[in-house]
Structure 1
Amino acid sequence: MIRPQAAPVVVLRQNTKREQGRKAQLANIQAGKTIADIVRTTLGPKSMLKMLLDPMGGIVMTNDGNAILREVDVAHPAAKSMIELSRSQDEEVGDGTTSVVVLAGEMLAVAEPFLERNMHPTIIVAGYIQALDDALKILSEIATPIDASDDKRLTEIVHTCIDTKFSARWGNMISDLAVKAAKCVTIELPNGKKEIDIKRYAKVEKIPGGDFDECAVLNGVMLNKDVTHPKMRRIIKNPKVVLLDCNLEYKKGESQTNVEVMKEEDWEALLKEEEEEIQKMCNDIINVGADLVFTEKGVSDLAQHFLMKKNISVIRRVRKTDNNRLARVTGAHIVNRTDELTADNVGTLARLFKIDKIGDEYYCYITECDNPKACTILMRGASKDVLNEIERNLQDALNVARNVLVESKLLPGGGATEMEIAARLNEKAKSIEGIKQWPYKAVAVGLEVIPRTLAQNCGADVVRTITDLRSRHALAGEGRFWGIDGNTGKVVNVEQAGIWDAYAVKQQVIKTAIEAAAMILRIDDVVSGIGKKGGAGGGAPRGGAAPDDQVEAFGDSRDG
């Protein structure tokens, strides 16, 4: 467990508060550097794997920064905020989770000498924010626009971005799947922008067993479901699909509802009423000419009987998310009550419905759809562990494809972008007056951590490599394309080597890392509202304040 440096209970008096502020800042920087060190070796194609033990005793082996930090147990609040960076980066753009933590840790580390020389954090933060604004302008200047409609080019870009992952040994297969899936769920909005919701509409279905070559993007949706009655049809061509969000059962009374039946005829009347109610529901479905019904709720035996007689297949207890995907691929509308069903609500875009048995499980396929805006990615592999790691890589690939389709710009990879920004910031720093120039220059030094870490992880001579890169980027013109080949550790022209980064990811990494470092540097005290004795409030006697207005800081030496 990562804990902050031991510090005594803080007494908020004027003569000690300033000292505590410096201690808090240095402790936060130390916590940030520690978190960055955890994932530093997982950057680049020659990265190391981490073995994670979860609380249930399970083992996960991965080099995905977000997956690693999710399992780390930390007590220090600054360390927790560093881990949150990785999570927010993953949610925003889905890639660069390791880079953002490494870069934020380095931005904190380069600020440490300024704090030790008593430079005020406000001045350091002002230098950082000015450097961030200039860095984002430089990013847009060196970006290379691409044609997002070229599938071959897109696949190459995605493969470049996930080349560091476990799945790289299978060539372009993961990249092909990601590009197909991302293009499938793309919707063109009226304002010219694109909406690509891969989390909701591109579902990964993992089935252990089979060969990796059997992985495919299905032109429709696949569910782990079977028809409710064995006599219902398991193959339907050109099905008319109805999607429901209601029970096909007799509505039971509220709780504590009792019915007393005195005569046999009364019992028969009750059963008849129930049968009529279900018959009415089924007639609503039959009248719109449906062949296939999906419902999110239950289906009674009686309803199954009525629908089966009319040759209608039923699948029940479908997840809400799966129902939304079905709506997209079939063109059907989800209906909340059967009496609201009309012919317009029936989906007719799918060309085939079939049930297949894989292993011991039954799977339902709705495929051969006309222009589906949702899809299922079928993953086959030797074991669950391999499938789980490949799924993590596929999610990264999907995010890269989405980012490139939304923002069709690329940046030089292999640390070339960071070195170019660092060279230009160093040049621009000469025109900045006052002591703010030093934190501004420190951002340029901090950005070099990415190429430096890449060189370290593939065993290159770090000092020579970084010196060579600095000299090449100091030249104006084509110097911006010089970076590090993460496999060999040599300085190469990344444009010719085909090493690229997505613009949206790099922009988010730099913005998040510098802003987070600036925020952490402005913290001058970490105060806990949890006392040692007597719960919240620091254990003060009832009706009186704690002696000397004592409050407790994180990292008390008694924490153990």
Structure 2
Amino acid sequence: MAEPQIAYAQDEYGRPFIVVREQGKKTRAQGIQALKNHISAARTVAQIVRTSLGPRGLDKILISPDGDIQVTNDGATIMQNMELENQIARLMVQLSSSQDDEIGDGTTGVVVLAGALLEQSESLLDRGIHPIRIADGFERACTVAVQALEKVADRVEFSLGAGNQEELLKTAKTSLGSKIVSKASDLFARIAVDSVLSVADLERKDVDFELIKVDGKVGGSLEDTTLVKGVVIDKDFSHPQMPREVRDAKIAILTCPFEPPRPKTKHKLDINSVEEYKKLQEYEKKTFEDMIRRVKECGANLVICQWGFDDEANHLLLQHDLPAVRWVGGPEIELIAIATNGRIVPRFEDLSPDKLGTAGLVKEVGFGTTRDKMLIIEECANPRAVTVFVRGSNKMIIDEAKRALHDAICVVRNLVRDNRVVYGGGAAEIVGSIAVAKAADEIATLEQYAMRAFASALDAIPLALAENSGYSPIETLAEVKSRQVNEGDPKLGIDCMGSGDNDMKRCRVFDPMVSKRQQLLLATQLVRAVLKIDDVIEQHNVDGE
């Protein structure tokens, strides 16, 4: 008896298709269960960064797939480097990125707040309250909290004069207090304030971040970090016999290479005799000299070139007393053009005196035991361009210092835009919590439950600060909250540094009003988005495997 023939589905190479029984191992979550799955994922992410909140917050060590190590407690950096598969967890990453892009500070706090709001909404779902009613209540509470913060906010008065910047320095130091660079917070706060005020337009209340460049090099200590009123580029003069400095520099900024034009065909040039080779050599030399003549005729005494040039061109530049810098990257070229009021020239034929950049001094400096060389362009035609030159013992320290400096610069930028501040240490959140709880008592509709949950969620920030500082969280929060209610003092917060004083104004702990408002708005918007997701979610059911 012949055995039955089995037909296989085959691809074009005759290989059988492998059919995997995946569909049988998937479950579908709908309704409340789907929402709880979302909330659980978001809470997990919030718990990870919760321990990094505040001046006593813990750092995280991040190891990339290729073995690079980062040690940081910057919320945005931690979130961006987490490999997350759950879509709601990725939403939390985008929430942190939004806060970082728009405000630049408060990235950890906004994630912790969003996690607390979702945690509170889970208990409301268990009580049978509809997700949309919860979201409406949260938005109503958010409005009340923002209004309460606007009532207690103080204005910070400052000017370009050195004696009227104390409040800006205090706010910048608050931002730096939780970072690795906190031991040099006085220096970094001063650098952040000076760099922002150098490029700020106080009439328009605008800060052009493009004019602030943060560069770093391994070597030295954090205290060696300096602010340069100009541009620093990690290059040196192309020939060791060129002068180390050029005064009253007229700079030709070129994006064309110092070399003869090449034929744009695939044909090759065969040289069969010494005479032909000498002709080619003479042509190249003549071309180089013609290029140098064009640069000299337009009045330039320094060339900055995006591309390289060979030894012959380099030697001719030295012979004609024309210092040059080669292989300068695109962003640096643009910054030099902005700082020196020069024009980027793509062809030698376009060179003219009006396209040259001007600077009072261009000098090559060496530092460190290896005598690394860098170029500093100072006394530029546009005095608003500045560079922060960060030093540190290793790459990890420099990277973290750059992130800390970015946060501090963003905080000062926010105060230029809106000079109102609220008090840190959880004081602002406690003010909002008290105001929302009071408003909830005056509402008869179902939203009152969501508003009370919002007030409880606001307490998560001071609770985390107290916990990370080694205090008893509930006891510490209860004491500070009761004092705020009884004394009516919105400046009372968690004494994270153990100074013995809960008055955040005396402790010099400030947060920009725009940062706190953005945290509340973004967290509330994210929670509404999550609560509205009631679609079918497919998950692998590993129990049956």
Q: Determine the structure 1 residue equivalent to 2:542.
A: 557
Is this contact kept in 2: 1:187–1:373, CA < 8 A?
Answer: no
Residue equivalent to 1:320: 330
Contact 2:211 2:335 in 1 (8 A): yes
Larger CA deviation: 487-496 vs 222-231: 487-496
Q: Which residue number in structure 2 is paired with residue 428 of structure 1?
A: 439
Task: Output aligned runs, 1:366-385, within 5 Å.
Answer: 366-369=377-380, 372-385=383-396
Q: Is the 8 A contact 2:99 2:106 kept in 1?
A: yes
The answer to whether the aligner puts 1:177 opposite 2:162 as a matched pair is: no
Amino acid in the other structure paired with 1:377: V
Opposite residue 435 of structure 2, the aligned amino acid is R
Q: What are the ranges of 5 or more consecutive residues in structure 1 without an aligned counterpart?
A: 1-6, 12-18, 528-552
- Taking a change above 3 Å as real, the CA distance of residues 362 and 558 of structure 1, as seen in their structure-2 partners, is farther
**Deviation (angstroms), 1:255:** 5.0
> C-alpha displacement at 1:351, in angstroms?
2.8
Q: What is the CA–CA distance in structure 2 between the aligned matches of 1:347 and 1:74, rounded to whole Å?
A: 48
SS in structure 2 opposite 1:294?
A: strand
Deviation at 1:116, TM superposition (A): 1.6
The amino acid that maps onto 1:510 is: L
Shift of 1:388: 2.8
Unaligned runs of 5+ in 2: 1-23
Give the one of 151, 160, 163 matched to 1:141. Answer: 151
User: Whole-Å Cα distance in 1 between the matches of residues 98 and 87 of structure 2?
Assistant: 16
Bigger shift: residues 382-391 or 123-132: 382-391
Report what 2:376 is aligned to. Answer: 365
Alignment of 1:349-360 (within 5 A): 349-356=359-366, 358=368, 359-360=370-371
**Match of residue 483 from structure 1:** 493
1:162: how far off? 1.7
Q: Distance in 2 between matches of 1:62 and 1:474?
A: 36
| CA distance in structure 2 between the partners assigned to 1:276 and 1:370 by the alignment | 34
Does the alignment pair 1:196 with 2:181? no
Residues 1:526 and 1:98: Cα distance change in structure 2 (over 3 Å): farther
Contact (CA 8 Å) 1:526, 1:554: kept in 2 or not? no
Question: CA 1:117/1:345 → structure 2, altered by over 3 Å: closer, same or farther?
Answer: same
Question: The residue matched to 1:472 in structure 2 has which SS?
Answer: helix
TM-score, with normalisation over the residues of structure 2?
Answer: 0.88
Q: Shift of the alpha carbon at 1:453?
A: 0.9
Deviation of the 1:290 alpha carbon: 0.9
Question: Residue deviations 1:222-246, cap 9 Å, x none?
Answer: 2121222233222212211121122
* TM-score (structure 1 length as normaliser): 0.86
Find the aligned partners of 1:343 and 1:295 in 2 and give their Cα distance. Answer: 17
Structure 2 residue identity aligned to 1:195:
V
User: 2:13 corresponds to which residue?
Assistant: none
Distance 2:419 2:442 in 1: 33
- Asked if the contact 2:477/2:494 (under 8 Å) is kept, the reply is no
Aligned to 2:76, which of 37, 43, 66? 66
Change (3 A) 1:326 1:447: same
Aligned to 2:414: 403
CA distance in 1, matches of 2:483, 2:293: 76
Aligned residue in 2 for 1:9: 26
Distance 2:393 2:339 in 1: 30
Matched residue, 2:136? 126
The code of the aligned residue for 1:380 comes to R
Partner of 1:538: none
Q: 1:162 aligns with which of 176, 179, 197?
A: 176
Give the match for residue 18 of structure 2. Answer: none
1:456-513 per-residue CA deviation (whole Å, 9 max, x = no partner) reads 111222222222233233358x421111111128671212222111122212211111
Q: Would the aligned equivalents of 1:76 and 1:554 in 2 still touch at CA under 8 Å?
A: no
Give structure 1 regions of 4+ aligned residues with deviation exceeding 6 angstroms. none
Asked if the contact 2:292–2:317 (Cα under 8 Å) also holds between the matched residues in 1, the reply is: yes
- Worse-matched range after superposition: 271-280 or 423-432: 271-280
Instruction: Indicate if the aligned counterparts of 1:243 and 1:335 stay in contact, CA closer than 8 A.
Output: yes
**What is the deviation of 1:104?**
0.5
Distance 1:355 1:284, change over 3 A: farther
2:248 counterpart of 1:238? yes
Q: Is the counterpart of residue 29 in structure 1 residue 39 in structure 2?
A: yes
**Helix, strand or coil: the match of 2:30?**
helix
> What SS is found at the alignment partner of 2:390?
strand
1:374 Cα deviation from its structure 2 partner: 2.0
1:443 match: 454
Aligned counterparts of 1:31 and 1:521: Cα–Cα separation in 2: 13
Correspondence for 1:467: 478
Instruction: Supply the distance in 2 between the matched residues of 1:357 and 1:343 (Cα, whole angstroms).
Output: 34
SS at 2:56's partner residue?
coil
Compute the RMSD of aligned alpha carbons: 2.5
- Does the 8 Å contact 2:172/2:411 carry over to 1? yes
Deviation of 1:371 (Å) = 5.5
Shift of 1:271: 4.8
- Compared CA separation, residues 261 and 243, structure 1 to 2 (3 A): same
Alignment of 1:202-281 (within 5 A): 202-254=212-264, 256-259=266-269, 270-281=280-291
Measure the CA separation in 1 of the matches of 2:391 and 2:428. 37
Letter of the aligned partner of 2:144 in structure 1?
A: D
Give 1:391's match in structure 2, choosing from 402, 420, 423.
Answer: 402
Aligned to 1:291: 301
Mapped partners of 2:532, 2:542: distance in 1: 24
3-state secondary structure, aligned to 2:41: helix
Alignment-mate amino acid for residue 183 of structure 2:
R
Q: Distance in 1 between matches of 2:364 and 2:134?
A: 64
Determine the C-alpha separation between the residues in 2 that align with 1:510 and 1:213: 36
52-61 or 291-300, larger mean C-alpha shift: 52-61
Give the Cα–Cα distance (whole angstroms) in 1 for the partners of residues 158 and 544 of structure 2: 55
Which of the numbers 271, 292, 305 marks the counterpart of 1:282?
Answer: 292
Identity %: 30
Cα contact 1:455–1:489 (8 A) shared by 2: no
Give a deviation string over 1:415-454, Cα, whole Å, max 9, x none. Answer: 1111111111122223333212211221111111111111
Aligned length: 517
Q: Is the 1:126–1:436 contact (alpha carbons within 8 Å) kept by the matching residues of 2?
A: yes
